[in-house]
Amino acid sequence: MTLAFFAATPKAMEHLLAEELHSLGAQQIKETVAGVHFSGDLSTGYRACLWSRIANRVLLPLAHFPVTSQEDLYRGVQTINWHDHLKPDGSFAVTFNAKNSTVINNSHFGALKVKDAVVDQLRENYGSRPHIDTERPDIRINVLLNRSEATLSLDLSGESLHRRGYRDASIKAPIKENLAAALLMRCNWPKIARQGGTLIDPMCGSGTFLIEGAMMAADYAPGLLRDYFGFLGWKQHQPTLWKTLIAEANTRKSAGLVTLPVIAGFDHNRRNLSAAQIHVNNAGLTKWIQLDCQDISTAAPQQNWQPGLLICNPPYGERLGDTQSTALLYKQFGETLKRRFNGWQAGLIIGDQELGFRIGIRSQKPVVFYNGALECVLLRMTIDDKAFFEPKPLTAEDRLERINSLINDPYRSAKARINAIDEDKPIKHQQTTPLMAEETYKTPATGTTDAPEKPKEETSNNLTATDFANRLKKNLKNLAAWANKNKINCYRIYDADLPEYAAAIDLYRDINDTVWLNVQEYEPPKTVDPAKANQRLAALLTELPKALMIQPSQISLKIRRKQKQTDQYEKLDDQGRFHIVDEHGCRLQVNFTDYLDTGLFLDHRPLRLMIQQQAKGKRFLNLFAYTGSATVHAAIGGAKTTTTVDLSNTYLDWAKTNLALNKNDGNHEFIQADCLQWLEDEAKHPYPRQYDLILLDPPTFSNSKRMDDIFDIQQDHVRLINQALKLLHRSGVLYFSTNFRRFKLDQDALSSAKIEDISAQTIPADFARNPKIHYCWRITK
């Protein structure tokens, strides 16, 4: 019997997955964004679960039906005879996702509706009901509601297939197993292994590349170690067929291990090596993978090792925190490769192409992948004298060429290739007064007012206004589709993409469909000629109205200097012009003139949505609340109570206005106080307040006159988090965030709490170029 399946995968890996499924005997293969449709018999689905190194999940669609109301969803689920799939006293779980739906946009509510339909049917017909098991249910039901069309599937994988079974749950790794496998494939490791080539990871960390490479070379099925799949408790499961496939996989593994080439990993950190050894042992590969404590400066292959592939995920800016040290590390790495690995292939995962340039070895066209939400780049190179060069500072043209090469890469996600802007359709605008910055503006160096010169075409060694316009146009095309799809009205469209035009540009579309731009020029360094900086700024301001078809009066301009301890939230003007925008169903006030920031931090958009989705029936506490946007999200999400605490009466009034705009009459409390002192006072109470959901997003520093002391996030965060935890219910969640780029969380001092770094999950696509815009942790007791 031929069945239809869908295999999900991270973006930019669809082509590799399609090739893999073809090798497993799949038919009617069709790629789509973040997945591949295919068909085959049940054994094909089983093989995909057992053998796919790339897929996250394998789904078996059971039904497609229209959903124009909540009742439609319930009735659609009940059209399936659930007794064919699940025992009346069995267990199940529901995963529900909604995209562009106006009927149901709360995943928890949708999952409950599906659960009710299944339970009601089985209880009515058989007198007993199945129970919910979110960990390892007999079956896992997956529902995708796309606009008004629902697809209901069985999740045959049960849990993500990247969980091979060898990783210790307490050990975190910077890269998932299926992404590691994809990168190895892109580096042509299977062919190199067949030719007897060696695999080396000189910065092996917890050993993911080594183990995935060994399994690939040994014909070792990645699912062979798993003791759970989503079909094992399914009533239509065929145990005999599954046992046959397992036996076949074990036979192939035994034969493959006999001819396994040399696989070796080095790391200078013994803790990393201990983690790698645990994983190697768990995978049953102790005899075949060599581990040694070596620094990259001493790493070298043994004389009898055949040249093969060197692959690694070296630390980059976000992980080292020091630009000069990072550049030096990459230069030293390049010297090691040139001296000791001549004749090898290399694959390097980097966060910044300019760092890859420091290695001094020419590479093939870079390949973009996504490690969670974080974009990373794979550089592939042949280590050969002909490819060596001496790194020199990049010119502006070099940087532009490298950025363009990323955008045009065929393995980049589909959104980068969608022409989403209808260039003949103007953006709605309103007539207002001219932009002051178009007539005069202050130079950051002198503070004097000068008339901007007409932008001139610069020399061949510099970027021109045309280059900026082209970059902006490309950004708009890429981001518009993403914003429309996710119903996002306010987002960053440019962030110093071109070094000569150093500004951040944010687009705000208000509830009247009027577009506003907030431009923040980064203060040029003293080495830059102020006249030339003014010329570029004038060119930027000239191009923006043309690119977005708006009036100059719809653009505001600020100079963003390095913040001092005296100007946190400093007031710049007193025009009092506010605009109302919509963010995921929440109406919020923004102001483009009176303060450096607008009242809405766009990079925290995903975190606010998480709070909205988790707030139903919860007691929510918003500390250092600023304008209370997170409070509004919690209220819209159905929070039982909200408490909003901030030292500034101005921002508390703004928060109250935001809440009033949404006509939410729930139980809401606003407290003007020093948050740290308020927490300490509350914790001393015999019966301290208890909250189910807490947002803790403090400033980097604060020295308000109302405070007794200067607050410094690095010095004070442990005390702050511990005090907040005293108010957290035992089953509650605390989200802690900071935008201090050099921040280091002291986890040892917080060892009594469970801490999960979710920074990557909270960086939206429009800030993907700047993953250090903030850090975020999920903390529980």
The per-residue pLDDT for range 321-346, each reduced to its tens digit, is 445 567 777 888 899 999 999 999 99
What is the pLDDT, as a whole number, of residue 700? Answer: 85
What is the tally of helices (H) and strands (E) in the chain?
Answer: 21, 32
Mean pLDDT across the chain, nearest whole number? 85
Other CB atoms within 10 A of residue 464 CB: 20
pLDDT of residue 396: 40
| Encoded tokens for 722 | 């511990």
pLDDT at 365: 81
Q: What is the pLDDT of residues 274-332, one digit of tens each?
A: 999 999 999 999 999 999 999 888 889 999 999 999 999 987 544 444 455 677 778 88
Residue 246: per-residue pLDDT:
98
Which band of pLDDT confidence, cut at 50, 70 and 90, is reported for residue 665?
confident
Mean pLDDT, residues 475-490 taken together: 92
Each residue's pLDDT tens digit, 376-394: 789 999 999 988 887 765 4
User: Averaged over 538-557, what is the pLDDT?
Assistant: 86
What is the reported pLDDT for 393? 52
Q: Is beta strand 586-590 parallel, antiparallel or unpaired with respect to 579-583?
A: antiparallel
Confidence (pLDDT) at 332: 83
The DSSP letter of residue 510 is B
Would you say residue 403 has pLDDT above 50?
no
Q: Is the pLDDT of residue 436 over 70?
A: no
413 against 117, higher pLDDT = 117
* Neighbour order of strands in the sheet with 367-371: 289-293, 263-267, 199-201, 309-312, 345-350, 374-382, 367-371
State the SS3 of 636-686: HCCCCEEEEEECCHHHHHHHHHHHHHCCCCCEEEEEECCHHHHHHHHHHCC
pLDDT of residue 49: 98
Global pTM? 0.55
Q: From the CB of residue 343, how many other CB atoms can be counted at a distance below 10 Å?
A: 12
Half-sphere exposure of 281 (CA within 13 A, CB side): 7
Q: Give the pLDDT band of residue 576 (cuts 50, 70, 90).
A: low
Q: How confident is the model at residue 368 (pLDDT cuts 50, 70, 90)?
A: confident
Q: Which pLDDT score, from 0 to 100, does residue 418 have? A: 25
Q: Which domains occur in the chain, in start order?
A: 3-155 (3.30.2130.30), 177-226+261-412 (3.40.50.150), 418-560 (3.30.750.80), 587-780 (3.40.50.150)
| pLDDT tens-digit map of 234-283 | 999 999 999 999 999 999 999 999 999 999 999 998 999 999 999 999 99
Upper half-sphere CA count for residue 393 (Cβ side, 13 Å): 3
Task: Classify residue 571 by burial, with Cβ atoms within 10 Å: 0-12, 13-18, 19+.
Answer: exposed
Q: Torsions phi, psi of 303, nearest 5?
A: -60, -35
Please write the tens of the pLDDT for every residue from 740-771: 988 999 999 998 999 999 999 999 999 998 89
Name the token pair of 41.
Answer: 């018999």
- The per-residue pLDDT for 316 is 55
pLDDT at 624: 95
Strand ranges of the sheet holding 691-696, from the earlier edge strand across to the other edge: 667-672, 641-646, 619-623, 691-696, 728-738, 775-780, 754-757
What is the pLDDT averaged over residues 46-59?
98
What pLDDT digit, counting tens, does each position of 674-716 carry?
999 999 999 888 888 999 999 999 988 765 444 455 678 988 8
